[in-house]
Structure 1
Amino acid sequence: MRGPCRGSSVGASPGCGPEAPTRVSVRRAAVYVSPKVGREHVERLLAVLGEGGVEVLEVREEGEPNGDLGADVVFVLGGDGTMLRASRIYPRTVLLGVNFGRVGFMSGLLPEDLESGVGKVISGGLEVQDYRKLEVQVNEGEWRTAANEAALLKSQTHHIVSVSVRISGEDLFDFRCDGFIAATPLGSTAYALSAGGPILSADTRSYVLVPIAPHALVSRPLVLGEGQVTELRLKERAAVLSLDGNEPQRLGAGDVVRARLSDESVRIGRTDEWTWWRAVRRTFL
């Protein structure tokens, strides 16, 4: 459902962000665990939550049914992929990641700081940032959302695709390339960054469009504002479209992919030791 805040510059509801971080009181929690994380870490988390008087509503492993229980926060034990899956299962709940992955940019705690970090969270030290999602449509189909990115990629390694780019109804350019990435501020630190895109600040009302290996002497990523719609039309050869690394959708010549900033947000919790720019510095510098 499209919210009332599209194009608005004011408001602080979770669906209209991003705004300045807010603090959340934690009294009821859920735990979402990657199968790769040992049970001993779950027990550590449950112990400190119990000592702090936090009610644990459930401990859920990946792949189980919807867990929208009304928790104040979901502790996510895993990497960034686990955080993305948790964002689909708990779409309106604050997610606080404990990083057991390789990058862990979306996380708010390190495993070695679990007891002290959770103690700070219980004491009111949890800051929450709403990150705008991306909306994506293929031809005249339904609009779907992505927290990180939509990646339009060539379907065969030895081919390149030809893509016509329009921005808000204006023809911009044609590119022969390996594909394009449309990424949110959160996703600007992921695939888009490795393809040469910029890091967008957490509170930016924009998204970035990055060409992948363009067959051109000059090419630059584009930073697009709220309300601007990108249209990518495949001129020749097949391609695939993947949202947040999920199962790709096959596309053919003539198909059109549209992207724009969504009114929906993913809510990420961080402690003061793992703010956005500290996470950038620790992860990438």
Structure 2
Amino acid sequence: MKVRRVGIVAHPSPEVSAGARERLVRELERRGVEVVQGNPAGGAHSELIFVLGGDGTMLRASRMYPESVLLGVNLGKVGFMSGMRPDEMEEGVRRAVEGELYVQEYRKLEVRTGATEPRHAVNDALLVKERPHRLISVGVRVSGDDIGSYMCDGFVAATALGSTAYALSAGGPIVSRNAECYVLVAIAPHTLLSRPLVLGKDDVAELTVLENKNALLSLDGEEPQRITPGESVRVRLSQEKLRIARIDGWSWWEAVRRTFLGAG
């Protein structure tokens, strides 16, 4: 893919992104690349979206341009989803123009509540208690089979990409990006027997809020919606995919090593 038209999504704080944005636009224009700015509709037709920020900005860009290839410039702290560092920006533009980017695909989650249209999450769907000092009871079914009920702070369902985020902090496994599965992890369960579940591409997890306590559902850190007692959240792997570009051929496990072990 040789890029000739791009969009830009930047961290909302000028203190974080302003200098990087000016430098990026200058280099793109120098190489004759059209830059679409401030127009999501126009950006949707861009061949590539440059994302200036950290993983949170990457998630925001994925919601704005769900069908576009994203190339992140890591201005944040973790930057697991980013494809280059700030000092590599000119090299990244060159590789984009000359068709030398590496593009990786990641399956999203499909999440349904009630009879509403499905929504999609790149990283995770979080079902968590509404009141901080109270546990909630959550009933779990997988593909129609009862697994049990859990007293806990909530559950996180995560894609392979999201397995390196909140689910990892909650004790879940890191899942290879090539595995067509997702994970379901209880958060602070009040039991000695709880274990994370790794679910297949056709498995549908159904989480039902039990007893007289509300819960909150948030996808990729977005504003949560209230889930009332008796309501269910249904989760499965989506057919939709996120496409992330990198300027070199990092393998998944090399990215894990670089990000979490600080090696190389």
Give the secondary structure class of the aligned counterpart of 1:272: coil
Aligned position for 1:134: 109
Change (3 A) 1:66 1:159: farther
Once the two structures are TM-superposed, the CA of residue 279 in structure 1 deviates from its matched residue by: 2.1
Instruction: Please give the root-mean-square deviation of Cα atoms over the aligned residues, in Å.
Output: 1.6
Aligned position for 1:243: 219
Confirm or deny: 8 A CA contact 1:80 1:101 kept in the other structure.
yes
C-alpha offsets along residues 203-228 of structure 1, whole Å, 9 cap, x if unaligned? Answer: 22111101100111122111111111
Aligned position for 1:12: none
2: CA distance between counterparts of 1:118 and 1:157?
46
Once the two structures are TM-superposed, the CA of residue 274 in structure 1 deviates from its matched residue by: 4.4
Identity rate of aligned residues, in percent? 57
Confirm or deny: 8 A CA contact 2:102 2:249 kept in the other structure.
no
Point out where structure 1 has 5 or more consecutive residues left out of the alignment: 1-23
The TM-score with structure 1 as length reference comes to 0.86
1: CA distance between counterparts of 2:119 and 2:41?
18
What is the aligned length?
A: 258
C-alpha offsets along residues 207-254 of structure 1, whole Å, 9 cap, x if unaligned? Answer: 110110011112211111111100011112111100111111111211
Change (3 A) 1:209 1:249: same
How do 1:229-240 and structure 2 match up within 5 A?
229-236=204-211, 237-240=213-216
Confirm or deny: 8 A CA contact 2:17 2:53 kept in the other structure.
no
Q: 2:180 aligns with which of 205, 208, 211?
A: 205
Alignment partner of 1:33 is 2:19: no
Structure 1 moving runs of 4+ over 6 Å:
none
Between 208-217 and 131-140, the greater mean CA deviation after superposition: 131-140
Q: 1:117 aligns with which of 89, 92, 99?
A: 92
1: CA distance between counterparts of 2:41 and 2:188?
38
Alignment partner of 1:257 is 2:233: yes
Between 224-233 and 26-35, the greater mean CA deviation after superposition: 26-35
C-alpha offsets along residues 70-115 of structure 1, whole Å, 9 cap, x if unaligned? Answer: 1111000011111111111111110000011121111001112211
1: CA distance between counterparts of 2:106 and 2:170?
21
Once the two structures are TM-superposed, the CA of residue 186 in structure 1 deviates from its matched residue by: 1.2
Give the secondary structure class of the aligned counterpart of 2:72: strand
Alignment partner of 1:52 is 2:31: yes
1: CA distance between counterparts of 2:114 and 2:12?
37
Q: Which residue identity is paired with 1:105?
A: F
1: CA distance between counterparts of 2:96 and 2:3?
7
Q: 2:242 aligns with which of 260, 266, 283?
A: 266
How do 1:77-96 and structure 2 match up within 5 A?
77-96=52-71
